Chain A
Amino acid sequence: MKIGAVIKISGLNKDFPGGVRALRGVSLEVRAGEFLLMLGSSGAGKSTLLRCINGLVAPTSGRVELNGVPVGAGVKNISLREQRKSVGMIFQQFNLVRRLRVLDNVLCGRLYYNPLLSSCFNIFPQRDVQFALSCLERVGLREKAYQRADTLSGGQQQRVGIARALVQQPQVILADEPVASLDPKSARTVMDILREINQQDGITVIASLHDVDLALEYARRVVGVREGAVVVDKAAVKLTPKDIENIYGGAKEQEVYDGTYGRLEYVRA
């Protein structure tokens, strides 16, 4: 194992039932503290790749290692749950428990650390509650702690999602199109928070994005995925228009993201 590689993906393939080949021979190494943005058109396999990292999707072949330990293999007595604890995840649709309060949603990130029985009855130690509140403070939502999650705006819900990931005290945060359902201003707020926790806490961030400009602005490293394979992998500053073409399938079609309605449009170039 190379020192500093938090995540090492080698020869990863994923075939879904029905003959869809979502990933073909993906190899990728991510060092601690990186801020990596993944680009690729719809169906390229970005979500599948992210979900292989925390074992939500089981690869057909190849492997993912977290700190040198294969994910979900139960090797060295390290359970999949323990590995997931160190990997926070945030989602395009936020995936909060709508009927629960914001604070309860954040405390969900502490479930791994707490006894089964008491936590199932929503009983958490005071220090966990304090920690959850301070993570809410971090994303600027301390005063919303006791509201129901579904009373918040989309941008605020995504920040709750980030707080839920933060209380896990993760090494890595995976973000699957974290801003695709948000207006441009909220999108920026969320990206700023992700950048801040990456720089201040040294948490490795791997996110997929649709918006090329946004990606170029925030990423330090860009990985381009096309038809299940990594076609571009370089520092963001070195990215050329040719690379973008390569990722999005050449000059004929360019995918443009319509942020207002959260849908994709194919525009003839």
Chain B
Amino acid sequence: MSELKRPVLPPTDRDGRRQSGLEKLLYLQRALIIGFVLAVYLWSARGTNLSLPELIEGFPHMADFFSRMLPPNLAILKDLVRPTVETVQIALWGTSLAVLLAIPLGLLAARNIAPHPTLYATARFILNALRSISEMVFALIFVTAVGLGPFPGVLALAFHSAGMLGKFYAEAIENIDPGVVEALEATGAHKLQVIAFGVVPQVLPEFIAYNLYRLEHNVRQATVLGLVGAGGIGFELITSMRLFKYPDTAAILMMILATVTLVDYLSSRLRARVI
């Protein structure tokens, strides 16, 4: 009969500092990594003209700028209503179109659902491409393609967000319980029925939460689309600054703050209800 070996915790090293050659090497490796990371940071600081003295010197200028914003020109608030509403409308449509685009892409980009490896790879590639191009770059492209206005803004949000959402969907789908999918396949159900009953109920809470997060993000994003002529309150913002109407700028910032806060609040209330 063989004895079962009991696991034993080795005793502490009472002599303290004694290190094996391997341990010394590991310390050296760690020191090298820390040194390398520090070097990268210092190098990047030079590349970006990071400078504490300059920041301190800049304080009076900033104070001067902020003082010229006061008091905010509240008289223009009523003229800001229309661009503010437009900003939210852009975000709403941008997000919704993104969801529609992202659903098929997300399904194809989920390893456990994708019908074919080629489709899987293609969907992954498209999602990566959409994500790597930011909203502002898309906005510039669409403004050039379809002209100034909120519509290119909607398209810009839709395309970039589709990349983000599709990736999230795919990850959520890859994390579902495969047993349920298998059980449904075993009943003779069609692939689409398996998705409707096995996948959708499992990912629905996450799906809704991601979409609401994205809507919040897109409202913030839509406030700057106007800088490149893609609609929304950003146009008022850049105009007021170009004309040095800083009290107007202050009023616009207040409006943006209020809108974003309200949308975030409503959205988080909704999210809390679905989870």
Contacts and interface: CB of A to CB of B under 8 A. Distances in A.
Interface stretch (A33-41, A63-71, A84-92, A240-248): A84-92
B182 A84 contact: no
Interface string B125-149: 0000000000000000000000000
Interface stretch (B10-18, B195-203, B234-242): B195-203
Nearest to A93: B179
Given A100-B197, A119-B193, A89 B202 contact: no
Contacts of A93: 179
Interface in B62-113: none
Nearest to B184: A108
A146 interface: no
A108 to B, nearest CB: 5
Interface in A84-139: 84-89, 91, 93, 95-100, 104, 108-109, 111-112, 116, 119-122
A120 B183 contact: no
Given A95-B177, A95-B179, A95-B180, A84 B187 contact: yes
Given A116-B192, A120-B192, A97 B197 contact: yes
Interface string B157-194: 00000000000000000000101101111111110110
B187 A97 contact: no
A234 interface: no
A100 B200 CA distance: 11
B266 interface: no
A85 B201 contact: no
A82 interface: yes
B216 to A, nearest CB: 25
Interface of A is mostly: mixed
Contact of B186 (A87, A96, A121): A87
A268 B202 CA distance: 43
Given A91-B183, A95-B180, A111 B189 contact: yes
A234 B182 CA distance: 31
> Which bucket holds chain B's interface residue count?
20 to 34
A99 B202 contact: yes
A56 B201 contact: no
Contact of A112 (B177, B189, B201): B189
B257 interface: no
Contacts of A56: 182, 185-186
Given A111-B197, A116-B193, A97 B188 contact: no
Contacts of B180: 95-98
A111 B179 CA distance: 17
Interface of A: 54, 56, 81-89, 91, 93, 95-100, 104, 108-109, 111-112, 116, 119-122, 161, 164, 168, 268
Interface of B: 1, 177, 179-180, 182-190, 192-193, 196-198, 201-202, 204
Closest 3 CB pairs of A and B: A85-B188, A95-B183, A112-B188
Given A91-B179, A99-B204, A168-B187, 14 more contacts: A81-B188, A91-B183, A95-B182, A97-B201, A98-B201, A99-B201, A99-B202, A108-B184, A111-B188, A111-B197, A112-B187, A120-B196, A161-B183, A164-B183
